[in-house]
């Protein structure tokens, strides 16, 4: 690894939830690192509600990450996930580019803040959560069709509900749980996992509180099965906090412990990846995101075309061309990182997390 590549000095992570005027959201900022001062927003105009979605009462959310420059400007925003509306994704990207910050500083010197994330929630006032009687009746019919094994009929009912109804955030999440069930019964575990991740967004605020822990349980098991180890450990941590009393959790615990042992070992971790793996996230079509467990990486088994790999760490950032069998090593003082790989939609590859030695 050419250490000169790690030439970008950045401020630590900051997690925000945007609160654009009439849009429902929750604000929660993480404290800055003790050596520096986090960037502070000084201009954050609200997003406009896309007319196409407002006209049909559609609500949703978009999760993005971006870099705050030493001049306080927003650069390189990318969509990490969304509820599925391209109109919301497009507006969220347009909005954050208009924001401005008092830049982060380190020892009084302005620096980039490289690992900044935001969730923008588009919700009509008074209608963000909960389900209507009309929706509930329709959902019960979907549930019955799935129970009777009428999967094609159930899928059409889900699609029709998305097209016909003015969905709240909760109703959208309920439909993602139905999609997860359908994908599981159809043997499409990738689509099932994507749907579960959307359904459990915002710490399960938009799904039934009794259902949320079981969704996390299934999500953890699938993430482990698919080799998404970082996500599996993170989801398991959330699951433990729910204090779920389920025999399956006891069976899962030894597997989680084994994963932690493997991460600490000299074993090479091979993480399967596909560009555009997040179903129904239009702007995710050309990238793949991952929060790694180690500091040393390589890419192998590329089937398709990859362009760039970007490391957005708490204190440093680097963008490089993807090269198979090349090793990138992130210094410890870079802090926690996210990895973004850009390429042609559908390209598959393996991210190799290498032992430190």
Q: Provide the whole-model pTM.
A: 0.81
- Percent of the chain topping pLDDT 70: 88
SS3 content of the chain, % helix, strand, coil (to 5): 35, 30, 35
- Residue 167's φ and ψ, nearest 5 degrees, are -85, 135
Looking at the structure of the chain, the number of domains it has is: 4
Q: How confident is the model at residue 28 (pLDDT cuts 50, 70, 90)?
A: very low
- On the question of pLDDT at 15 being above 90, the answer is no
Please write the tens of the pLDDT for every residue from 85-94. Answer: 899 999 999 9
Whether residues 147 and 258 fall in one domain = no
Name the domain boundary from 122, 148, 177.
Answer: 122
Average pLDDT, the chain: 85
Count of other CB atoms within 10 angstroms of residue 34: 7
Place of tokens 């020892």: 107
- On the question of pLDDT at 133 being above 80, the answer is yes
Q: What is the pLDDT of residue 127?
A: 55
Whether residues 218 and 143 fall in one domain = no
Please write the tens of the pLDDT for every residue from 134-146. Answer: 999 999 999 999 9
Count of other CB atoms within 10 angstroms of residue 148: 10
Name the domain boundary from 122, 150, 173.
Answer: 122
Name the domain boundary from 122, 150, 185.
Answer: 122
How far is it, in rounded angstroms, from Cα 346 to Cα 276?
Answer: 6
Question: Can you give the residue range of the structural domain that contains 58?
Answer: 3-122
Closest C-alpha among 118, 109, 114, 170 to residue 139: 170
Whether residues 30 and 78 fall in one domain = yes
Please write the tens of the pLDDT for every residue from 222-260. Answer: 999 988 899 999 999 999 999 888 888 888 889 999 999
């Amino acid at each position: 690894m050419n250490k000169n590549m790690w030439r970008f000095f950045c401020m630590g992570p900051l997690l925000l939830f945007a609160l654009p005027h009439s849009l429902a959201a929750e604000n929660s900022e993480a404290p800055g690192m003790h050596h520096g001062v986090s960037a502070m927003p000084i201009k954050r105009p609200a997003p406009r509600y896309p007319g196409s979605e407002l006209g049909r009462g559609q609500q949703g959310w978009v999760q993005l990450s971006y870099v705050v420059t030493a001049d306080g400007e927003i650069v390189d925003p990318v969509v990490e996930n969304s509820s599925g509306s391209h109109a919301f994704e497009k507006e969220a990207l347009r909005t954050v580019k208009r924001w401005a910050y008092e830049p982060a500083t380190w020892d009084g010197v302005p620096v980039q803040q490289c690992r900044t994330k935001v969730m923008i929630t588009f919700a009509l006032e008074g209608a963000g959560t909960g389900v209507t009687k009309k929706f509930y009746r329709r959902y019960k019919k979907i549930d019955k069709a799935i129970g009777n094994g009428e999967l094609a009929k159930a899928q059409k009912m889900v699609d029709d509900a998305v097209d016909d109804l003015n969905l709240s955030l909760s109703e959208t999440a309920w439909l993602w749980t139905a999609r997860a069930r359908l994908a599981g019964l159809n043997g499409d575990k990738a689509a099932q996992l994507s749907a579960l991740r959307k359904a459990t967004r915002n710490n399960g605020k938009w799904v039934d509180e009794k259902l949320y822990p079981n969704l996390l349980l299934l999500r953890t098991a699938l993430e482990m099965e698919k080799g998404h180890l970082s996500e599996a450990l993170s989801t398991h941590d959330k699951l433990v906090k729910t204090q779920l009393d389920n025999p399956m959790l006891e069976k899962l615990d030894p597997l989680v412990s084994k994963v932690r042992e493997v991460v600490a070992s000299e074993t090479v971790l091979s993480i399967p990846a596909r560009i555009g793996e997040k179903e129904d996230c239009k702007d995710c079509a050309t990238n793949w995101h991952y929060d790694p467990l180690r500091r040393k990486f390589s890419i192998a088994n590329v089937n398709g075309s990859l362009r760039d790999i970007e490391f957005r760490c708490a204190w440093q950032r680097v963008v490089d061309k993807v090269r198979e069998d090349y090793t990138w090593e992130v210094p410890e003082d870079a802090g926690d990182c996210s990895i973004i790989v850009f390429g042609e939609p559908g390209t598959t590859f393996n991210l190799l997390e290498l032992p430190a030695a």
